[in-house]
Every structure is written in structure tokens, then in C-alpha cells.
Structure 1
Amino acid sequence: MLETKRFSPPKQRAFDARFEAQKIAFGPVVFHCVRYAWKRGMLQALGEAGERGVTLDELEASGRWSRYALKLVLESCLSAGVVLIEGGRWQLDKTGFCLISDDITRVNYDFIHDVCYRGLFELERSLDAGKPLGLMHLGDWSSIYPALADLPEPAKSSWFAFDHHYSDTSFPDILPDVFATAPRRLMDIGANTGKFSVAALGYDARVELHLVDLPQQLAVADANLASQSLRGRAQLHPRNLLDAATTLPGGMDMVWMSQFLSCFGEAEIARIFQRVADCLADNGQVLVMDTFWDRQRYDIAAYCLINTSPYFTAMASGNSKVYESADYVRLAEAAGLRLLTARDGIGYCHSLLRFARA
């Protein structure tokens, strides 16, 4: 039985709960006001002023903002704890410092604004239809995955920044796990831009990499492999794993899937696990790295992950989410696999599940 951590926000008094409810109701308003103050340099100006602070007259005199914009936006920031005011002088509060200096806050904010915000208006319809109907705000596609290389800016840059910020911190830490059993044939399913494959090929000069993804994504991975002179040790397998007739090349010593299964609904994950089990060599293993909200040390990580799930509904696939770890274990066991080990605390918020045939 996997040990997991319960998400445990603090208990609230009735009055505090009512205040929290209003924060939810006005959340979109605060989101945009804070973003304006951040992106237009107001927060940076307060940060540069330090503890001395700065008056509205001084801010207005810079000519960068009207007094109306300053008062409206900074007052909203005040209500959200982003700034504070003492003796008529505005200062940056701790939350404001996070906004202008914390990478993960910046990446999350840009991802929600540039990729998700307009599409989330379609969340209700997407949940009812089981389709990512919010994606129409970025382009005419049935899911986001074949479209990643063609997303309009700034959505494209913000999507890849979000994806890489979470995954790239994990790769150096997990390569010893990947090669602990000395696999000679390694399959990277959901290869994306090929970052893991490049790292794996650089880690072990003898390994043979098999990359599986949609043709559009493999084209990007192929270019990255070629730029590192690694193309000769890699084989590309264009596959649409939503196609029931899709098979995978066999005889694999290790199958690697990172932040991949969360792109699919449970029935699709079950079928993928079955294909993976079928493609393993006799002593082959499966490594799944993902962000499970129930395996986080801190509630802040669980909060971010839980609230990433609506992106999958409205923008990505219509039926996927950030899962609990027990969901993957249950679906893997149904495909004839058994959990060997689970390791947490990888990168920002990843866990690594190792499976073998039952």
C-alpha cells in the first residue's frame, strides 16, 4: 500500500471562511490587476524603492502610469497582500516579492494567463462534453498535443516554459534510477522535445534510445538529437497512442514515461499500460515519473497541482488530470504490472514509480 500525504488546508472560523469565499468570487479581478502591476513595472518600482516606499505622486511623475491606473491597480494589489501602504508610501509586500523574483510563480502565472485563461471560460461545457472546448481560443485543434509546435505566441513560449520548468529539474536526479538495471534498449514514450533522451544518451554511451510520440513532436526531438550528434543512437517511432491499433516495438529493457500519462483519461491510461507491458523484455521494467498531488510534502505543491487539472479539461484533452498515485498503480496492476518502488521529492514535485511484470 502506498503511503500518501493528505492535503490539509488550515481549518477556518466562519468569518474567515466568508472572507475566503469573497476572494474566490473576485479572484479573476485580482488576477488581472496584479498582472498589470507586475507586467507594467509597478511592482518593480516598489521593489526598487525598498523599505522607504514611494508615493503616488512620485509614481505618477515618472510618466509611466496615470494616477487613475495607479490607484485602481495598487488598491487591488493591497487587498491581495501584494503591496502595503504606510504613511502614504507604497511598498512591496512579501507576496509581491515572490511575483517579481520567484521563477515558479512567474511560470505558473504566465501559463495560466497565456495558455489557459480564456479557455477556462469553457470549463463547464468541456466537463459536460469531455472535450477541450476552450482550446478554440488558441486554434482549431481537437487536442493541444499535436498543436504544441504551432501554438500562437505567447501561449507557445509559456506552455514550454511551464512544462520544462517542472520536468527539467528532475532529469539529473533520476538518471541513476533509469540506469540502475543497466538497460540496453530504452524507450522514451511521450518524448516531447527529446530532452530526456538527450540526457539519457549522454549518461550512458551504450544505450539505444527509442522515442515514441506524435510525428509533430518527434520532428522537434529529431532536430535536437541531431544538434547533439546523437541521432545515430536513436530510433524514432511516430505513434498516436489514442489509436486502438497502435503497437509498440518489443524487447525493451526499460520503458520511461515522464509527465505523459496525465495527458490521458483512465481508460486510455489502462490501454497504454497494457501496450507497455506487452513490449517489455523478460526482465524489463517501467519507470513512470509524474506529479501526484497526494505525494507532496507541502500543501502549496498540492494546491498548484490540483488546480492544474482544469487545464487538461478545458485546453488539453477534455478527460485527463493530475492524478493520485494510487490511480496509476491500480491501472498498472490491471495491465499485469506490479509496483516495485516509489520515490518522492524529485525536482520540484515529482515522484518516480517503478513497475515490473507481475
Structure 2
Amino acid sequence: MDKKFDSGKKRSLKARYEAQKIAFAPVVFQAVRLLRDLNILKVIEAAGKTGLKVEDIAEQTGVSSYGVTVLCETGLSQDVLEMKDDCYIITRVGHFLLNDELTKVNMDFVHDVCYEGLFRLDQAIETGKPSGLEVFGQWPTIYEALRHLPAKAKQSWFAFDHFYSDTAFPNALPHVFDLKPKSILDIGANTGKFAIQSVLYDPDVHVTMMDLPGQLAKAKENIAAQGVADRISPYPVCDLLDPKFAFPGGFDAVWMSQFLVCFSEDQILSLLERGKDALAPQGSLFILDTYWDRQQFEIAAYCLINSSPYFTAMANGNSRMYRFSKIEELILRAGLYIESVDDGLGIGHTLIRCRANDK
């Protein structure tokens, strides 16, 4: 066989090319982000199939011809743009970069929250602490820092968090309320969105929100704006991770949404054990989260897996996006059993309903 056509050599060349994409990934990311943020993709898409020359793009965007050339050629290399008769035309990849909400939320989050801090990922892995968070200040975890982040970083963090959670709440509520709970403990209540949706869904339920004082301050503003403060109570806690801190008890349901992924395995076990103890007899503990091994589409698993380094470098240094099997193991170790599992809520959430073995 002519070695020029050797399939092994072709596979090696393709693999080597893929390796170079990884090596230059940070460069490509920033260049493509600017193609979006400087409106270059927007004016090219508006030109349709005829595309635009560099000079026309420069005139319409106010970016120098040099800048347009540098950025567009990177876009060309990454199939964001294509060229015909010296005119740049947007590709389907470029269209999604410009118009797809999932892509926008992920790109903004990576740039505004994670990018600088990920330079210290090696330190975070070595120490088990979020070393990258130092780019924003001296905080033990990002959760205490949220109120103090720069405006753009704060906006992108909440947009990322809410994009993944908000779509799942309407699908999850019927599963929670088919048991007709009168009292719910919302652990890690964040901005109060679940609590608000719960009391609007069922006029007879009362929700207790348990979170850091700073988080609850924002939640209380949102609750007051909805006029439902009489059925939602804040329960501020300075250290949810203190294993000696007992949660308030007697609740028909305990709710944890996108919460457990914020902690290490040992911390999750402690939270589940104390969550179990907060249940009234026959009460249920609900866990709503995204597990990369339960996703229907590869794109979802890819996004979830590659969110884990954020938790390492920026959030707390010891958590990650978990596989379902790991959370299942911890649920059983906490003295709970799984009563039901519902996949495909929102854009890829799984709702786990648990009950205590001794209740």
C-alpha cells in the first residue's frame, strides 16, 4: 500500500490537528468572543449569502480593517466563518454563537467568571481550595463572594445559574405537589425563585428558605416584589457545612436544587443526613440536578463535564458535576432510599425523590 494513503497516518494527522485545537483553544475563544461582541458576526449574518468584504465589515462595526482581518481569519479556521470571493459569510456554527442562548450564557460565564481564575487551576487541584477566586478578592468560596463580584461577572454568574435551573422548575413542581406538602424546606434557596414559584403553584404551602444571609437578602427583595412574603420565611445560616448544625425539622418536603454539586462527597453526605432528619414522618427529600451520565444528548454531557473545573478553580475547590451513580451511592449511605427518578426536566435535569428508611 502506498504509505501516502495509509489510514493510520490519516488518523494520526487528524488526531494531531485536534490536539492543536486544544492547544490554541484559549486564543480561539477570545477571538471568537470578540467576533460576537464587536458585532462582526451580526453584520456578516445580516449580509446573507453574499457576505461582506473586510472593508465593509470595518465600516459597519467601527473596528479597524486590521482587527477585522485578524478576528475573521481565526473565525475562518474554526468554521465560524467561510470565505467566497474575498467576502466573509457566516456558517451555522457562527449562527449559533450569535443567536443561541445556551452558547451565549456559557460563553459569558466562561469569560466573565472563569477565564482569569482558570489560570490557577493547578493550584486549586493541589490545595483543594478555589485559588482562581483570588482574581475577585479573598473569599473562601464564590457563594460568599457573589454580592461583591464585579457587575458583569455577577450578571453572567446568575444568568448561567438561572438558565439551567429555571427551565426545570415548571416541570418539577407537579412531581413535588402531587404529595400535597404543606411545608417545604428549600435548602440553598439562592434568589428565591423556587420558593416563589411554589407558593404561586399551591396557595396552601409555606416555604422556609435556608441559605447564607447575603443570598437571602436578595431573595427577600424578590419575594416582596411578588407579594408573597407571608408564606415564605427566611432562615439565614452562616455555615451550612457545619456537620453539628441541625436543620429545622418537621417538613413535608425538603428541596435541594442545583445544590449538592456545590460540595464535596463528604459534605454531600452530611447535608443529606441532616436533610433526612428535617423530614416529617412520610416526608420526601427532592434533589433536582444535572448529571452528565443521564443526558440524552452529547452536547449536554459535554457542557456539564466541562463545568467541573469552574467548581475546582472558582467555586470551592472540591466539588464537581457528578455522575448519577455517585449521588445515588451517597443517598443510600445517608439512610435514604430512592422512591422515583424523573429525567429530562427542563434542558437536562433529573429529579430524585427520596424518603428516609426509618420514617
TM tier, shorter chain? over 0.9
Matched, 1:211 2:209: yes
> Which of 149, 159, 162 is the matching residue for 1:161?
159
Q: 1:63 to 1:83 in 2, by over 3 A?
A: closer
> Which of 50, 53, 56 is the matching residue for 2:51?
53
> Which residue identity is paired with 1:332?
I
Q: 1:148 to 1:272 in 2, by over 3 A?
A: same
Deviates more, 1:181-190 or 1:114-123: 181-190
- Matches of 1:59 and 1:289 in 2, distance apart? 45
Deviates more, 1:224-233 or 1:345-354: 224-233
Matched, 1:102 2:100: yes
Matched, 1:70 2:57: no
Structure-2-length-normalised TM-score: 0.95
> Which residue identity is paired with 1:155?
A
Matched, 1:344 2:343: yes
**SS across alignment from 2:47:** helix
> Which residue identity is paired with 2:240?
L
The percent identity for this pair of structures is: 46
CA RMSD of aligned residues (A): 1.1
**SS across alignment from 1:340:** strand
Map of 2:242 onto structure 1: 243
> Which of 30, 33, 52 is the matching residue for 1:32?
30
Map of 2:87 onto structure 1: 89
- 1:137-181 CA-to-partner distances (Å, cap 9, x unmatched) read 112211000121221121000000001111111111111011111
Larger relative contact order (CA 8 Å, sep ≥ 6)? 1
> Which residue identity is paired with 1:97?
H
> Which residue identity is paired with 1:281?
A
Structure-1-length-normalised TM-score: 0.95
- 1:197-219 CA-to-partner distances (Å, cap 9, x unmatched) read 00000011111111111111111
- Matches of 1:273 and 1:320 in 2, distance apart? 15
- Matches of 1:350 and 1:216 in 2, distance apart? 27
Map of 2:12 onto structure 1: 14
Map of 1:44 onto structure 2: 42
Where structure 1 has 5 or more consecutive residues not aligned to the other structure, the ranges are 1-11
- 1:65-105 CA-to-partner distances (Å, cap 9, x unmatched) read 22211111110010010000012111001111001110110
Shift of 1:297: 0.3
Map of 1:175 onto structure 2: 173
Q: 1:207 to 1:61 in 2, by over 3 A?
A: closer
- Matches of 2:73 and 2:290 in 1, distance apart? 36
Map of 1:300 onto structure 2: 299
- Matches of 1:222 and 1:274 in 2, distance apart? 28
Shift of 1:241: 1.2
> Which residue identity is paired with 2:138?
D
